[in-house]
Chains A and B, each alone.
Chain A
Amino acid sequence: MIDDDARLMLRVRGGDRRAFEALFRRYTPPLVNFLARMLPERDRAEELAQEVFLRVYQARDRYEPRARFSTWLFSIASNLALNELGRSYRKRETPLEESVLDRLEDPQPGGEEHLEAKRAVSAVEQALASLPDRQRAALLLRAERGLGYAEIGEVLGASPSSVKSLIHRARENLLKLLGEREP
Chain B
Amino acid sequence: MSGCNRFGPELDAYLDGELDAETREGFEAHLPACASCSLALEKRASLDHAIALLPRVEPSPQFEARFWARMARAEEPAGWRARWFALPRLGWVAAGAALVAGLALLLSLRDPSLSAQDWAIVADAEGFELLLEADPELLAALDVLEAWSGSEEI
Contact = CB atoms under 8 A, between A and B. Distances in A.
Majority DSSP secondary structure for residues of B touching A: helix
A148 B9 CA distance: 15
A143 B2 contact: no
Interface in A123-140: 124-125, 128, 139-140
A104 interface: yes
A70 interface: no
Interface stretch (B67-75, B91-99, B118-126, B139-147): B67-75
B64 interface: yes
A96 interface: no
Contacts of A164: 9, 12-13, 18
Q: Give the size category of B's interface with A.
A: 35 or more
Task: Give the interface centre of A50, A139, A160 by most chain B CB atoms within 10 Å.
Answer: A50
A24 B7 CA distance: 42
Contacts of A50: 63, 66-67, 70
Interface string A24-54: 1000110011001100001001100110011
A167 interface: yes
A8 interface: no
A57 B64 contact: no
A54 B9 contact: no
A131 to B, nearest CB: 11
Nearest to B66: A50
Nearest to A150: B18
Contacts of B40: 182-183
A168 B47 contact: no
27 contacts: A28-B63, A32-B57, A32-B59, A33-B56, A46-B60, A49-B59, A50-B63, A57-B71, A100-B50, A104-B50, A120-B50, A139-B51, A142-B48, A144-B52, A148-B16, A149-B18, A160-B18, A164-B13, A168-B12, A168-B13, A174-B47, A175-B47, A180-B47, A182-B1, A182-B3, A183-B36, A183-B39
